[in-house]
Structure 1
């Protein structure tokens, strides 16, 4: 992958379908030249032991893999990161029959690099007798865990949108560099991009804690929904009272989390 990342050229910028670094709102300096952007699937198979099922998905579900952008201190104006050396933007073009975010393929590719990687997944969706090109952004991120334990990663994906509407915001982080004497770094950029995809906002502050809180809120909402239905069905007074107490406690916990 080194030749692709360090290559330069005067030809057009790389595209995955109609999606490019420029359509995503990234600076032209970060765009990878089209002539050097295509990544062969075999590149990712040779460095990892993968199952026959995953190899089949890589072959059948992914039409092409394209390097769209490379964000570094030299082309973003940000300081070097202590954890993340650079952020790559890789386009995954789905084949005609594939419709879902290729989570296992994203896991395979992202696990092979220390860089942060934003995946722009592009598909064609039949709509009203025609076809609409759609895109979603995805990242693989380590979940908050206990010290000394092996990290557990999860692939997060945004909603599908018309391809021309999908954007990434790096200006928020770059403005923070001028407002903060310490300056923002590539680490901050990665946190911001993850926050955009996972939480829908560019603020990457305390991201792990916010991801945990969002998961807890989602779990409590499902618990409240179940307890509400159980309470409606319960006929025994003692059982109804017991369920109501659990429901009241869960609602209090939810209110507390939402207020944080």
Structure 2
């Protein structure tokens, strides 16, 4: 069987079992199908039309072909390839969100591009609900990894159920590890650390610029508090 390909990427190059690979004849998906029934902004439609050259389903992971147990949330996981058009440098997060929102299945995206100096590259992306309170309408966010050489872009199959598998894939994209234990809590902590680091940089600049003693003291107090919280999170 000839496998579906996105750039130089296939299910096998990503480290996925051959049993999960989608045949080449069934891999390519028309872009128009993703805006036929789902609402999309004019900007997203433009990104889909001009920034994405091809959409390919590279792999379909199910209990039958992975040996994992069925999940309660995620019936299957699709690995989608987004081949970017020439001149497109960043993964189109709005396109990822548009496609992923249309199925209950978990989706992981392998975005591919050819860099003029670095060659074939891959960035992984997932859409996942932000950690929030139970009973509230979830808010979703698209997470994207840095670009890496296509030859080094690998995924790990981990977990015993399809739910755990998708959580592990999300963890690999968001946190860089297949460990999915307490994932939402760890994501929230990582996001808070990122926010605190940005706040500290701004408060440091504010403190250095301040000439009024009162303003300077206020900036220092906020800076000290932020540094204490950051230190506590990083040592937890």
Which residue is equivalent to 2:60?
70
1:1-260, aligned counterparts within 5 Å? Answer: 11-127=1-117, 132-170=119-157, 172-173=158-159, 184-260=160-236
- Distance change (3 Å), C-alpha of 1:239 and 1:44: closer
Q: Which segment is superposed worse, 106-115 or 94-103?
A: 94-103
Q: Which segment is superposed worse, 146-155 or 191-200?
A: 146-155
How far, CA to CA, are the matches of 1:169 and 1:47 in structure 2?
A: 33
Q: Give the SS at the match of 2:116.
A: strand
Q: Unpaired segments of 5 or more residues in structure 1?
A: 1-10, 174-183
Shift of residue 52, structure 1, vs aligned partner: 3.1
- Distance change (3 Å), C-alpha of 1:53 and 1:242: closer
How far, CA to CA, are the matches of 2:51 and 2:214 in structure 1?
A: 54
Q: Give the SS at the match of 2:58.
A: strand
Q: Unpaired segments of 5 or more residues in structure 2?
A: none
Shift of residue 99, structure 1, vs aligned partner: 1.4
Shift of residue 211, structure 1, vs aligned partner: 0.9
How far, CA to CA, are the matches of 1:241 and 1:40 in structure 2?
A: 59
Return the TM-score normalized by structure 2. 0.95
How many residue pairs get aligned? The number is 236
How far, CA to CA, are the matches of 2:206 and 2:104 in structure 1?
A: 47
